[in-house]
Chains A and B, each alone.
Chain A
Amino acid sequence: MHPESRFLAHHFDSLEQQHEAATMGMWLFLATEILFFGGMFTAYGVYRSFYPQAFVAASHHLDVTIGTFNTGVLLTSSLTAALAVHAAQAGRRRAVIGFLVATMLLGATFLGVKGFEYHHKFVESLIPGHGFVFPGPHARHAELFFSLYFVMTAFHALHILIGLGVMAYVIVLTRRGQVTPEHHPSVELTGLYWHFVDIIWVFLFPLLYLIR
């Protein structure tokens, strides 16, 4: 009897087939996620093409240095997530847990910085609604920019938050011995999800922070 067969579900012929199905299913889920964020990117693009000057003026109220730092944090967290999967392939469970903890810390750092930025927008009266104050002729359309900014970054932050929860669960699974070189879909699929969230930010950063 194959030593890993305890992981094989009865409706699959082999672990390899089971893993391919899991990876494909994850990519199918990510396709729905691409379109979920795609709708917001499309709305952003349409309104930016309507009101280019307002979007430039509004974007100037975002801090490029903080945005760049946070992008670096997220890219680093993608590296540690990739290294966690690499460690799982080698069967090094302690390293898997270490890299997952590092990824979670970086994700939490990203959220902390994001919270600081949100607070700053609140202080500057840049929250869309009755209290919104924006100097110059573009106030109404700048408000539109900030509506898109908050919706897109908040949904992105929600995905980070979910990722942190999932990684905490995968750490528990790893400690229980559910991660072996031949079978580690929990680590692998969590990695896929985390990299996807990173890709979303890779597009959000230039679109929101770098309009000149």
Chain B
Amino acid sequence: MAHESISRTTYFTIFLILLALLVVTVRVAHVDLGRFNFLAAMAIASVKAVLIAYYFMHLKTQTQLTRLFAGVGFAWLALLLVLTFADVATRLGG
């Protein structure tokens, strides 16, 4: 379990940041930024995911080995996405 506890104040602060980011992502979606709309949406979602994983899921206080297990899941996902879209992007571009 968590070796050092994360305080309730931290949980509430992270929660408020997550709600703020939700509002930001909805607002940004209504502004036409071209292809940057997609990038902005994914960037905000990634920040939210990292906050949830780091604080709510206690990666902040876990051992390096547990962090490695968590990181590996996302690393394989990155492999799946990068290799697939490298293929899709280069085939359809022409």
The interface of chain A, by Cβ under 8 A from chain B, is: 19-20, 23-24, 27-28, 30-32, 34-35, 38-39, 41-42, 45-46, 49-50, 64, 68, 71-72, 75-76, 78-79, 81-83, 85-86, 89, 184-185, 188, 191-192, 195-196, 198-199, 202-203, 205-207, 210-212
Q: Is the CB of B56 within 8 A of A191?
A: yes
Q: How many positions in chain B have a CB within 8 Å of any CB in the partner chain?
A: 48
Q: Which residues of B contact A20 (CB under 8 A)?
A: 63, 65-66
Q: Once the chains are docked, how many angstroms separate the CA of A89 from the CA of B4?
A: 10
Q: Which residues of B contact A27 (CB under 8 A)?
A: 66, 69-70, 73
Write the nearest CB–CB distance from A181 to chain B, whole angstroms: 10
Q: Mark B6-46, 1 if CB is under 8 A from A, else 0.
A: 10100110010011001001100110100001100110110
Q: Which residues of A contact B37 (CB under 8 A)?
A: 212
Q: Could you tell me the dominant secondary structure of chain A's interface residues?
A: helix
Write the nearest CB–CB distance from A113 to chain B, whole angstroms: 15
Q: Name the residue on B nearest A22 (C-beta).
A: B1
Write the nearest CB–CB distance from B69 to chain A, whole angstroms: 4
Q: Is the CB of A212 within 8 A of B49?
A: no
Q: Is the CB of A38 within 8 A of B80?
A: yes
Q: Is the CB of B88 within 8 A of A46?
A: yes
Q: Once the chains are docked, how many angstroms separate the CA of A49 from the CA of B88?
A: 8
Write the nearest CB–CB distance from A206 to chain B, whole angstroms: 4
Q: Name the residue on A nearest B35 (C-beta).
A: A52
Q: Once the chains are docked, how many angstroms separate the CA of A150 from the CA of B26?
A: 21
Q: Out of B8, B19, B48, which one reaches A83, CB within 8 Å?
A: B8
Q: Which residues of A contact B1 (CB under 8 A)?
A: 19, 23, 89, 184-185, 188
If A28-B69, A78-B56, A206-B42 touch, whether A86 touches B5 (CB-CB below 8 Å) is yes
Q: Once the chains are docked, how many angstroms separate the CA of A64 from the CA of B32?
A: 16
Q: Name the residue on B nearest A47 (C-beta).
A: B88
Q: Name the residue on B nearest A33 (C-beta).
A: B73
Q: Is the CB of B76 within 8 A of A195?
A: no
Q: Which residues of A contact B2 (CB under 8 A)?
A: 89, 188
Q: Mark B59-94, 1 if CB is under 8 A from A, else 0.
A: 000110110011011101100110011001100100
Q: Once the chains are docked, how many angstroms separate the CA of A24 from the CA of B58?
A: 12
Q: Is the CB of A195 within 8 A of B52?
A: yes
Q: Is the CB of B65 within 8 A of A24?
A: yes
Q: Once the chains are docked, how many angstroms separate the CA of A210 from the CA of B37?
A: 9
Q: Once the chains are docked, how many angstroms separate the CA of A79 from the CA of B22?
A: 15
